[in-house]
Structure 1
Amino acid sequence: MAETAAVSLITRAVELDAEGRYDESLTFYQTGIQQLLAASKGITDPNKKIHFRKKVEEYMERAEKLKSYICRIKEAGKFHEQIQIAANATGYGYRRLFGRLLDPMLTSVEVEDPYIRNHHQILNFLRFCEVLVNSEAQVKSITLLTGRDENPTQQREQHSKLEEIAKSLQQRNIALSVKYSSTLHDREIRFNNGWIAKIGRGLDYFKAPAGKFALGQFDLDLRQCHATTVDIFHTQYTKSADSAS
């Protein structure tokens, strides 16, 4: 089973590598290599063991080249990766999409999304916050800029739900600041470790699950998506701006 899982991860790494999605590919290479090494410990056939060792060395060499390349373009402020999410595609939960961006250097996140208003949209924002909390990042502050519903009752419900999220985050020493704009159109997430993610549909790119007890109700990796485009950038400007402030 471990060997099968490792092969699946490496296969996906090679596919992403061929598509030019190098940062995603590197993550799959690293995880796949770890699982290949773990699987190789249980192999007793000498020939198969040699074959495994050669494959691991081959993938490690490719991963190191990708890592070096990514570092160079990040330092040059020219990193850009585009992910096309097809209609009805699965496997694009927030952890899988953003997890590789959430390193220990991350302390602050800014979310601009005009549609964190309805109940399911606020739940999506909560799920995104949960991914931040469960990552290696040391997030201390989250800023949300969104729009208001025109209905006064809906406005109060929106404010109340976001306040509840803020109180919950405060228990983990994370400050949530919510701001409203009536002219906001862009959807962007800025991480103060240099990463920027622009999503055509913002955080609301999931379709409703098939039923209350259907797969995907809680695990967003199993939820079908609307077609959308995700652009991920890395820029030195973010780092320099943060250090100057």
Structure 2
Amino acid sequence: MTQNHVSGIETSAISVLKRAVEMDQSGCFESSLVYYQEGIQLLLDVLKAAVKDESKRGHYRDKIKSYMERAEQIKAHVKQMKEEGKYHEQIRIAEDATGYSFESLFKPYISNLLTEVWVEDPYIRHIHQLYNFLRFCEMLVKASCKVKTIHLLTTREETDSGQQSSALSELKESLSVQGLTLDLQYSSTIHDREIRFNNGWIIKIGRGLDYFKKPTGRFSIGYCDYDLRQCHETTVDIFHTKHTKTLGDS
């Protein structure tokens, strides 16, 4: 491994761990754990590969130990809050913020235990909203989990000349090829936006899945990569319950 390569890994580690500390300080503990674990691994890679100076090795060992101890404290705290049914964290997405693709936002809450997802969002109707839901489904298909069923409860668009129903039918067929079932239901009365994972996580986003701004053009940065897409201001509330109810339960 070249010195430049090692330097690049070190820079990445600093950036990731800075993000971990920011999430930690803002009370987003489950998210901070993901960044701590990634950053610690990067520092371990640097330590093993290239640091020859013993004083530097000691410095990295101390840093790694400190971050690992903090990660263990967070794990214990999160476990206790989950057991007590009191876990809640809040992420505030600022106006024009970037870095909040579905992969980035939902990654901390996806695990091997996840097999079923419920999405309640009244605004999966217009073309950009349908694409948002498609990207959400793509995120689940790619994720390291075993999702078999995605439930969508939304409102019906009566003036789209079949665009909504056609798009969702196509998506349903495409998901079936991947081994996933899309259970589609409509309601004329829903208003709240909520996503439930059957591993216990409940995510409430003020704007639902529709928190991305329209790109300036089809060949502008952020058009394809949603981590580079600017966002509308919104709040994300995350809860955990050991007894996850389906959207149809009372």
Report the TM-score, using the length of structure 1 for normalisation: 0.95
Letter of the structure 2 residue corresponding to residue 65 of structure 1: Q
Q: Unaligned stretches of 5+ in structure 2?
A: 1-7
Q: What is the alpha-carbon distance in structure 2 between the residues aligned to residue 150 and residue 7 of structure 1?
A: 51
SS in 1 for 2:98: coil
Q: What is the alpha-carbon distance in structure 1 between the residues aligned to residue 242 and residue 161 of structure 2?
A: 37
Over aligned residues, Cα RMSD in angstroms? 1.1
SS in 1 for 2:243: helix
Query: For residue 99 of structure 1, what is the aligned residue in structure 2?
Result: 107
CA distances 1:157-179 after superposition (whole Å, capped 9, x unpaired):
11111111111110111000111
Q: What is the alpha-carbon distance in structure 1 between the residues aligned to residue 227 and residue 214 of structure 2?
A: 13
Query: For residue 228 of structure 1, what is the aligned residue in structure 2?
Result: 234
Q: Unaligned stretches of 5+ in structure 1?
A: none
Identity among equivalent positions (%) equals 55
Query: For residue 21 of structure 2, what is the aligned residue in structure 1?
Result: 14
Query: For residue 215 of structure 1, what is the aligned residue in structure 2?
Result: 221
Question: Displacement of 1:237 after TM fit?
Answer: 2.1
Q: What is the number of residues matched between the two proteins?
A: 238
Runs of 4 or more, structure 1, over 6 Å off, are none
Question: Displacement of 1:155 after TM fit?
Answer: 5.1
Which of 170, 180, 193 aligns to 1:174? It is 180
Which of 146, 151, 155 aligns to 1:147? It is 155
Q: Does 1:69 align with 2:72?
A: no
Query: For residue 47 of structure 1, what is the aligned residue in structure 2?
Result: 55
Asked whether the 8 Å contact 1:148–1:155 carries over to 2, the reply is no
Question: Displacement of 1:25 after TM fit?
Answer: 1.1
Letter of the structure 2 residue corresponding to residue 59 of structure 1: Y
Letter of the structure 2 residue corresponding to residue 5 of structure 1: S
Q: Does 1:206 align with 2:212?
A: yes
Asked whether the 8 Å contact 1:109–1:141 carries over to 2, the reply is yes
Asked whether the 8 Å contact 1:142–1:175 carries over to 2, the reply is yes
Q: 1:140 to 1:58 in 2, by over 3 A?
A: same
SS in 1 for 2:59: helix
Q: 1:110 to 1:235 in 2, by over 3 A?
A: same
